[in-house]
Amino acid sequence: MQPPGPAPPLYAPGSGDFTFVSSADADDLSGSIASPDVKLNLGGGGGEFIKESSATTFLRQRGYGWLLEVEDDDPEDNKPLLEELDIDLKDIYYKIRCVLMPMPSLGFNRQVVRDNPDFWGPLAVVLFFSMISLYGQFKVVSWIITIWIFGSLTIFLLARVLGGEVAYGQVLGVIGYSLLPLIVIAPVLLVVGSFEVVSTLIKLFGVFWAAYSAASLLVGEEFKTKKPLLIYPIFLLYIYFLSLYTGV
């Protein structure tokens, strides 16, 4: 009985596969590995590819490929300027109409002037009133803006002391928008300025118009019998605004 011969190899490597050699023959082996021809898709839509540079390949092989990533443009950065500044022209126009036409029968939701205050609309009204009050003396502009800010603060403090639930931003917006009646009567005063009686009546009408528009928004039912304590300083505030315009 002959001893069994060596078993046939289970795997015979071909010409394109790895060949296992003994450690004794390993010293005689030499060779090199070609760098892969990596191509980068530029995403141009046409399926075009270009060969990566050696620096790009080096960074990717060392794990620094994130340095080559390009972030997509954030749509939040492409907002229009008015939206970026939080300026709503339609909202400002609606509030102007609410102030100029304060009668409830007209159907305007006038509470939006108080409940949804903004800054740019009242500021534009105050600046416009300042411009027509110049008469060559620029100090009037700073006075009007100062009276708007600190006068609104005084009305706000009185309203809070009297128990009103109102914020300073709401008072600032209502007082600023309610200067519009004084702007409306300004060109009329230029025409009838020589008629003292008519001019006085128009001034009183403009002050009452502005004070009523502001008081009807700020003086709510929570004041009850204390309404005159807040309406009176509002009325005086608009008299002072008008005096800055007329130069009295």
Closest CA to 212 of 115, 102, 112: 102
Determine if the pTM surpasses 0.75.
no
Closest CA to 119 of 156, 92, 141, 97: 92
Are the C-beta atoms of residues 227 and 162 closer than 8 Å to each other?
Answer: no
CA distances in angstroms from 104 to 98, 109, 111, 178, 217, listed in the order given: 9, 8, 11, 16, 11
State which amino acid sits at residue 153.
L
Higher model confidence: residue 233 or residue 106? 233
Higher model confidence: residue 165 or residue 202? 202
CA dist 30 and 25 (Å) reads 11
Q: For 107-156, how does the pLDDT look when each residue is reduced to its tens digit (9 = 90+)?
A: 778 888 888 888 888 888 888 888 877 664 556 778 888 889 999 999 99
Tell me what pLDDT residue 205 has.
92
Biggest CA pair distance of the chain:
145
Q: For 55-79, how does the pLDDT look when each residue is reduced to its tens digit (9 = 90+)?
A: 677 667 766 666 566 655 555 556 6
Tell me what pLDDT residue 36 has.
52
Tell me what pLDDT residue 31 has.
58
